[in-house]
Chain A
């Protein structure tokens, strides 16, 4: 379980996040929606302890992220918004390096890599240097790298960005499998249908605040709109405006 309590984050005068509270239960896939600059990435960065919150606390399975960042990180598999692969390592070497950094047993690394390479259809690129990878190939490698150690919970920043249909489906299956295994999955996306398809819950973030939280149908009916997209646009625009008008 991931629990975010009254988190605020300020960069100078800019309020990136303002009193955000959120709980993600085990076995739940939560979609995080927000415009560019709404605070999604900041929230992700706070969750992995790379940024320290100005106020509030975050705990992962009861472990405080600020106080025990390494313990918290061990429980997380994270795909940040930058793939940041090592160009002169092959896809497999990139994945195996992170497996070692996560402290996996040497004997377990190869089978884990093999499983993900098969699952994400990476067999043709596994032994190639990451230098010439397409966006999709980079995403797949970064995704495999993020979850190779079998983390308790998964945070993904726009995981299906640039993936083709086949791979997107594979990612979806992967997330469903994680959910079935009782893990928290939090993923941010700009793709409404993606969120509608696999999320149990949708959280809309605008101007550093959570403006909606519930199932897709709850959010849609609450705003009185016909679709999630319209609901999202309405929520974002209103709150953005609100926020600027009354800081």
Chain B
């Protein structure tokens, strides 16, 4: 039995590898999906940089160190010169002449001063334009503050770690980084689509293709059970899908490593372990996809019919994508047991460097088994129907 299975598997694999049409259909989409993805992100980063480098800040008063720090961080400083404290700046912001302003002490602080530096951020919160730049400036001031605090503490022989009893790890989806969050949310979809589509052409050829060229009759005259045929075809389809997924992952890793995410203010560091975990969790998806494709393919009279039906499968990962997109808070443990739904969350976690729930992989694998068995069982029964053989 194993020998026969091996023979079927190899035959389907050879047949597929020599099929230029199906090869193109399988291995080109990952390439252009990743290329478009990289171009999209590159463009977004470019826009972001543009916005950031265009922040103008009107400043009154004096605090040379702080101003130097802001300038170092690409904030354009404009003097809003004053004679008497911050009245003018307030008025300018209030009247809408300026988006926001920073009011500093009139006299520069003496070096080694012990009091906090009084600074006032002036803005009109009703002004929509101000929120992005305001967050950036505010963050820079906080950063400046904590750096100085650290230096002061160190000067007194203490560890700056003492100043941070809590360390926040930010996976930030704040307003100016929403674009970034959106893009990372799209990566699991991209991966799931490549797993769902990978063997479409091959599966269509193995089932509808056999019907179209009327090779089922001679094939089934052999003393080989139809479940063995379907299993062999399925194994070949799964292997092909996995090579497509592997290609997608490799290309994606290269893109993620090369894209300057740090310029967008967040870190994307997808390590080898994360990539392997993602691959591991995509294997069950490939198994489900191949089984469903074979089941749909055997119902189709021709290669073209099969492709039409199978393209509906590509829509499947979109459903959980939109569920997760529109209500990110609804994640629950049971979702891991729904193929494709749990993947959306877990893949994103893995991409962001978090660990997946420990039994996520078990859930993925176990929930794939009944789907695969049902689809293959169905396909196997269809294979021997006279209508399918001769129809």
Contact = CB atoms under 8 A, between A and B. Distances in A.
Interface stretch (B25-33, B57-65, B151-159, B210-218): B210-218
Contact of B221 (A71, A76, A86, A106): A76
Contacts of B219: 84, 101
B218 A101 contact: no
Given A82-B214, A84-B217, A100-B4, A73 B222 contact: yes
Task: For chain B, give the interface size range.
Answer: 20 to 34
A84 B215 contact: yes
A51 B386 contact: yes
B14 interface: yes
A48 B219 CA distance: 12
B223 interface: yes
Contacts of B217: 45, 50, 80, 82, 84
B220 interface: yes
A243 interface: no
Contacts of A48: 221
Contacts, number: 76
Nearest to B210: A84
A209 interface: no
Given A70-B223, A100-B3, A100-B7, A80 B218 contact: yes
A2 to B, nearest CB: 15
Interface stretch (A22-30, A87-95, A190-198, A231-239): A87-95
B81 interface: no
A88 B18 contact: yes
Contact of A84 (B218, B224, B225): B218
A130 to B, nearest CB: 10
A83 B216 CA distance: 10
Interface in B371-391: 384, 386, 389-390
A147 to B, nearest CB: 12
A69 B224 CA distance: 10
A106 B2 CA distance: 13
Contact of A78 (B215, B221, B384): B221
A224 to B, nearest CB: 38
A80 B217 CA distance: 7
Interface string A133-147: 000000000100110
Contact of A82 (B8, B218, B225): B218
Given A48-B221, A100-B3, A86 B214 contact: no
Contacts of A145: 218
Most chain B CB atoms below 10 A, which of A45, A73, A74, A80: A80
Interface string B9-20: 001001100110
A145 B225 CA distance: 19
A113 to B, nearest CB: 14
Interface in A195-238: none
Contacts of B15: 86, 88-89
Given A50-B386, A70-B223, A78-B221, A84 B4 contact: no
A161 interface: no
B386 A97 contact: no
Contacts of B224: 70, 101
Given A51-B386, A100-B3, A101-B4, A86 B11 contact: yes
26 contacts: A45-B386, A48-B221, A50-B386, A69-B223, A76-B221, A78-B218, A78-B221, A80-B221, A82-B214, A82-B215, A82-B218, A84-B215, A84-B217, A87-B213, A88-B15, A88-B19, A93-B11, A93-B14, A98-B218, A101-B8, A101-B224, A102-B222, A103-B3, A129-B18, A142-B218, A145-B218
Given A50-B221, A82-B215, A88-B19, 8 more contacts: A70-B223, A70-B225, A84-B218, A86-B11, A88-B15, A89-B14, A106-B3, A142-B218
